[in-house]
A and B are shown apart, each in its own frame.
Chain A
Amino acid sequence: MTVHTTSPQFKKNAAQALGDAQLQKALGNVKQGFIDKRVKAAEKLPEFEALRDSARDIKDHTLRHLDLYLETYEDKVKASGGHVHFARNAEEARSIILGICREAGARTVTKGKSMISEEIGINHHLEAHGIVPVETDLGEYIIQLRNELPSHIIAPAVHLNATQVEQDFRRVHTHLDAKRDLSEPVQLLTEARAVLRERFLAADVGITGANFLVAETGTSVIVTNEGNGDLTQILPKTHIVLASIEKLVPTLEDVSQILRVLARSATGQELSVYTTFSTGPRRPGDADGPENYHVVILDNGRSSMLGTSFEEMLRCIRCGACMNHCPVYHAVGGHAYGWVYPGPMGAVLTPTLIGVDKAGHLPNASTFCGRCESVCPVRIPLPKLMRHWREREFERHLSPATVRSGIKTWGFFAKRPALYRLATRAAMGALGLAGRGKGRFAWLPLAKGWTKYRDFPAPQGETFQARWRRERKGRAA
């Protein structure tokens, strides 16, 4: 494990998040903005659903032939004058990147937003070796100043309000006039632009992620709205692309298909402002661009997901739609998940990367409402995959004893339908009778988890199955 995780204490994190007034205010922005924008973008494109199918099929095809597309990609990068490095795990990736930075004599390194760089914890590693990493995406820059993890995969600082950002800028940008006005968000943006412009021009190495790697041409693709990824990669002498194995796609046509669903699902834009296709280093005659081009390809457990039910998770294109639509994410935000990837995609991915023993709570933090799956641009069955984790957690005896005995008791009755009907009829009848007066219970044995926060409505005296049978009979008659 490379980045400190608080996933094991998800319940405590969630309780804290629910009581955090600043966070709750900021989370209101997620609920309103993203959902409306995605719906509008999808409505404007009649082919949107067909494109989702197409994107899913492209990713599936690539994953089934991943070894061959990786080979083709590697050959193409080399042919264009670039270097390809393979890293089995986070530690190897960190040491490869540090090596390239040292070779370049780097003092400062600018960075485009990359979730994988969070996954491998590259910033701390560089700092520990005397190299200054500078995040340049506005949201990433803000959370770097606060020494936090991103709370959202495309909006890293979505948990913050403008006043908090103002305080951080005043704390860190001490070379600027202390009396300056920063009351408007645009003033914060302008200040960050000026501060980071200096950093861009001074950097020795630029590190970006990649949204896609194109096998056909040996091209890495990044998508940004700010343009920070581009300044990160065209100004320094050395450009390092950090990407995981599942970013491969076969052709430029395939990228174009997936790009049509990426921005629409993420921010509701037709396309992000800057989509950049990079192939190798500076060419003869070029007036700008990096002289060295390196790609670090990270596995970190992903190759073992192939051929399992979790293979489908490798289709993920990191748009963030699942968390934008998740009622649990809306309630607790991203930090409660305790590691790099939050929301439904994090609940599936995190246990594979740091272990279900540490992240077992995450797949349990779902109501299985299915909204994540219904908006996923590559149709990942997120609830099904979360359920797989719950099953594994149960099989490995990782769930608490009370839960296990409860499920076992329920299982005993569920496997004996006549007994189940009898028991539920008796229980519902008794509860219905007992609750007749008030219509609700403020306290019930074994239901403290529910009644501590709200009343339990009294049953109407009949079970669902009984009512179903009665009404079906009525309709047939």
Chain B
Amino acid sequence: MSARDDIFANIRRSLGVKGSDTIRRQMVTERLERAPKGVIPERGQVSGDERIALFKTMVETSLATVTEVASPAEVPQSIALFLRNHNLPATLRMGDDPRLRAMPWSETALEIAHGPSEGNDLNAVSHAFGGIAESGTLAMVSGPENPSTLNFLPDNHIIVVSAKDIARDYESVWNRVRFAYGKGGMPRTVNWITGPSRSGDIEQTLLLGAHGPRRLHVVVVRD
């Protein structure tokens, strides 16, 4: 018997069940179909400005920084200012995200590069699929628009998120993923990012910038 068949047989023997049992199968199909939510914390269940405010507070709790701009057109200036304030070079790598591409980068002195990172970039910007107010988490999906390497290789990662995409909870983001990719479908990678990279492995002391970005900066776009 193959390892696979052996393992399945042993699971069924231990559970005292048969693979052909239709009632169990129905329960599983129904559960996958219905995807019950379980217990959703009250904390994130707020709307409008209150939700944006909660998101920003939680982002800061995760040791990232956050700023807000009134429109997409203000994003380049805001990022240029962030880099200047931290004495960082005026370079920036990004993918092919149409929302980022449409922004007026030429109004700044930033030197822009496109495509995935090969590990030598100081600064990168990505556009989030959404934000989660409950925990201050950014949800990123992979693809040519926002290559996953930009989330991890640069020293300083800037994430742009639309205020309208900031959801109450993780479950609301999964609903949007299902809407975009079909039920049971997924992007190759979904990254939830909650703060800059860190490690506590040496004497349980919290240190930022382990292998991923040392700094995480979030730009919330109203409008």
Contacts and interface: CB of A to CB of B under 8 A. Distances in A.
Interface of A: 26, 29-30, 33-34, 45-47, 50-51, 53-54, 58, 61, 64-72, 76, 80, 86-88, 92, 136-139, 142, 155-158, 160-162, 165, 185-186, 188-190, 193, 196-197, 200-201, 215-219, 225-228, 230-231, 234-235, 245, 250-254, 256-257, 259-260, 267, 269-283, 285-289, 297, 299, 303-308
16 contacts: A33-B204, A54-B39, A66-B11, A67-B12, A190-B209, A200-B119, A226-B197, A227-B152, A228-B210, A253-B171, A256-B169, A256-B174, A273-B198, A280-B188, A288-B148, A297-B7
Contacts of A305: 14
Interface in B105-153: 115-116, 118-119, 135-137, 142-144, 147-149, 151-153
Given A185-B203, A217-B184, A256-B174, A277 B190 contact: yes
A226 B11 contact: no
A288 B119 CA distance: 12
Contacts of A271: 135, 137, 192, 194
A53 B39 CA distance: 9
B11 A67 contact: yes
B185 A217 contact: yes
Contacts of A137: 201
Given A157-B201, A288-B147, A217 B192 contact: no
Nearest to B19: A67
Contact of B212 (A162, A219, A257, A273): A273
Given A47-B39, A68-B24, 7 more contacts: A80-B186, A225-B210, A251-B32, A251-B35, A273-B193, A287-B147, A304-B10
Nearest to A32: B204
A263 B199 CA distance: 14
Contacts, number: 264
B86 interface: no
Contacts of A61: 31
Interface in B29-59: 31-32, 35-43, 58
A54 B38 contact: yes
Contacts of A234: 148-149, 152, 189
B6 to A, nearest CB: 6
A177 to B, nearest CB: 21
B12 A253 contact: no
A405 B204 CA distance: 45
A67 B190 contact: no
A66 B115 CA distance: 41
Given A68-B24, A219-B186, A226 B4 contact: no
A287 B95 contact: yes
B202 A162 contact: yes
A239 to B, nearest CB: 10
B211 A228 contact: yes
A257 B200 CA distance: 25
A297 B40 CA distance: 31
A279 B199 contact: no
Contact of A226 (B37, B41, B199): B199
A269 B195 CA distance: 11
B24 A272 contact: no
Contact of B25 (A68, A186, A193, A219): A68
Nearest to A230: B152
Contacts of B40: 47
B197 A225 contact: yes
A307 B210 contact: no
A70 B3 CA distance: 14
B116 A227 contact: no
Q: Which 8 A-B pairs have the closest CB atoms?
A: A227-B212, A226-B210, A139-B201, A306-B14, A86-B4, A275-B192, A279-B186, A303-B10
Contacts of A139: 199, 201
B186 A277 contact: yes
B188 A287 contact: no
B138 to A, nearest CB: 11
B171 A306 contact: no
B27 interface: yes
Given A162-B202, A227-B211, A276 B194 contact: no
A231 B211 contact: yes
Interface in B164-207: 169-171, 174, 177, 184-205, 207
B2 interface: yes
B62 interface: yes
Nearest to A55: B38
